[in-house]
């Protein structure tokens, strides 16, 4: 979570503060994609920063996209 928030803040420029008083769950979590690389030959080509920037730019250009979607739960 820290890496995600810090990466977003690096280009969106918002201020944040982690509350050290809150429980954080496991002391350390490490994501490992070795099984994905082995089983499905996963080889990521986009960094977290580049992927988030691209996603944010798309969102800014398409903020009303959700209005075009049909909500099957309303009908």
Q: What is the pLDDT of residues 21-35, one digit of tens each?
A: 877 666 666 778 899
User: What 3-state class would DSSP assign to 46?
Assistant: coil
Cβ neighbours for 8, distance < 8 A, ≥ 6 positions apart? 14, 52
Where in the chain are the domains? Answer: 2-68
Q: Are 7 and 46 in contact (CB under 8 A)?
A: no
Residues of the chain with pLDDT under 70: 24-29, 75
Q: Model pTM greater than 0.75?
A: no
Alpha-carbon distance of 25 to 56, in angstroms, equals 29
Show the tokens assigned to 12: 């969106």
Whether the CA torsion 52, 53, 56, 62 is positive or negative: it is: negative
Place of tokens 């002391």: 27
pLDDT of residue 25: 65
pLDDT of residue 12: 95
pLDDT of residue 40: 95
């Amino acid at each position: 979570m820290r890496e995600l928030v810090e990466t977003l803040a690096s280009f969106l420029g918002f201020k944040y503060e982690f509350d050290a008083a809150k429980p954080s769950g496991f002391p350390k979590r490490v994501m490992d994609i070795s099984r994905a690389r082995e089983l499905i030959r996963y080889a990521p080509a986009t960094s977290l920063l580049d992927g988030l920037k691209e996603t944010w730019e798309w969102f800014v250009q398409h903020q009303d996209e959700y209005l075009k979607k049909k909500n099957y739960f309303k009908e």
